[in-house]
Amino acid sequence: MQDVLGMRDDAFVPTRRQPPTVRMRRLAAELLRLRRAAGLSQEDVAERTDVNVATLYRIETGKTKPQLRTLNALLDAYGVPRPDRDELTALQKDAGKRGLLNVPDSDLPEQYTIYINFEAEAREILNFETIFIPGLLQTSDYARAVISGVLQTATDDDVQLRVDARMQRQHLLTKEDGPRLWAVIDEAALHRLVGGPSVMQAQLCHLADQARNPRITIQVVPFSAGAHPGMPGSFIILRFDPIDPDIVYIDSMGGDLFLEQEAELIRHSMAFEHLRAVALSPADTAALLRSLCEDHH
């Protein structure tokens, strides 16, 4: 997966729809909780306000930011007191605040834009990869080779845009308040000759260097581990502040998925814990990466 969201050939249509943010998800979850606490159905709310059911659904699922007058109408219907109203109004005001990537939204696929905004607000990124080096740990040459190989009909400009975006995203790991990255990589990804010997050698040496970063933990699942829970495919778990639920992202040929159901979060969290347990320790992984770097020399 290696976070190539929207990298299918049909993803080049630009979009200007505002992507959801963590704050928007938080506001949506709180409005859903308040409606249920008031004992109201969506139809009840539609009868009491000028907010139709379709709009309410989009608000409660974080697909759209409510206008201030809409928010006030909902809070009136739910009988929300002043202190709580002030907090929710402030959340509505900030709901559109975005992540840190300085690439115009219209130039990137919608799913990629959604992901990079979530990623920029995460406090921890848990990434398991089967056949790629994780995107946040790729060199520019490796990233270019991967994107070119996956998107065979992409133009040079399309490829360069995605390479630039990926390199910018890596700045998150240098920020003092940026997320921590825990990457678990199947050993197969270390032996796939992406971009040729020199590109792969530079990539392996880069991984060895990154393994020394205190904000990054890297583990390799060795071939000797046999079958493991990650074999069905790669996935990323984004963890936020305790009040915001986690998100699981899965990229596949069938489409891009953002999973938020509790059962899915538990299943993928358990799989990641198992993968960490069967993988080489961070110290042994670092030694392996140094050895592979030297071997490629």
Rounded-to-integer distance, Cα 271 and Cα 266, Å: 9
Residue 53: strand, helix, or coil: helix
CATH number among 3.30.70, 3.30.870, 1.10.3470, 3.40.50, domain 9-14+99-296: 3.30.870
Rounded-to-integer distance, Cα 152 and Cα 155, Å: 9
Residue 36: strand, helix, or coil: helix
Rounded-to-integer distance, Cα 207 and Cα 136, Å: 10
Please tell me if the domain spanning 9-14+99-296 has the same topology as the one spanning 22-94: no
**Predicted local distance difference test score (pLDDT) of residue 6:** 41
Q: How far apart are the first and last CA of the chain?
A: 28
Domain ranges across the chain: 9-14+99-296, 22-94
- In residues, how long is the chain? 297
Pairing mode, if any, of strands 235-239 and 247-252?
A: antiparallel
DSSP 66: P
pTM of the model: 0.76
Q: Which of 108, 101, 105 is nearest to 11 (CA)?
A: 108
Beta strands (DSSP E) in the chain are 124-129, 180-186, 216-221, 235-239, 247-252, 255-259
CATH number among 1.10.260.40, 2.60.40.10, 3.40.50.300, 3.30.70.270, domain 22-94: 1.10.260.40
Which segments in the chain show pLDDT lower than 50? 4-17
Q: To which H or E segment does residue 202 belong? A: helix 197-210
Please give the structure tokens belonging to residue 240.
């936020």
**Predicted local distance difference test score (pLDDT) of residue 50:** 86
CB 95 within 8 A of CB 152: no
